[in-house]
């Protein structure tokens, strides 16, 4: 299965909130072979993390840790999508 994750879905993988259980269920009940994200996801993800800090859903050190932890993953996913888009006829 191929899956596209928007930023709000991606946040649910790292921070428990409404919809997290449903999203976990999708990954548990399917063989996800590819994950696609928008090129805007990295910026949106970091913005969402810091919004959670402002609303006190996360503490600053947790947001920073998540931003650092996910940085390479998001860069890889975005780079793979860009490569696929440039290789299309």
- What are 27-81's pLDDT values in tens digits? 999 998 888 888 899 899 999 999 999 999 999 999 999 888 888 888 887 776 6
Query: Could you tell me which of 57, 53, 56 has the C-alpha nearest to residue 18?
Result: 57
pTM, entire model: 0.75
Q: Which domains does the chain have, with CATH numbers?
A: 2-86 (3.40.50.1010)
Task: Quote the DSSP letter at residue 31.
Answer: -
Contact at 8 Å (CB) between 48 and 17? no
Tell me the residue length of the chain. 89
């Amino acid at each position: 299965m191929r899956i596209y994750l928007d930023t709000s879905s991606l946040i649910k993988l790292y921070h428990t909130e409404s919809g997290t259980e449903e999203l976990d269920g999708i990954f548990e009940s399917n063989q996800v072979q590819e994950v696609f994200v928008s090129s805007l996801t990295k910026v949106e993800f970091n913005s969402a993390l810091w919004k959670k800090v402002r609303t006190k859903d996360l503490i600053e050190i947790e947001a920073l840790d998540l931003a650092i932890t996910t940085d390479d993953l998001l860069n890889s996913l975005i780079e793979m999508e860009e490569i696929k888009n440039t290789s299309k006829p």
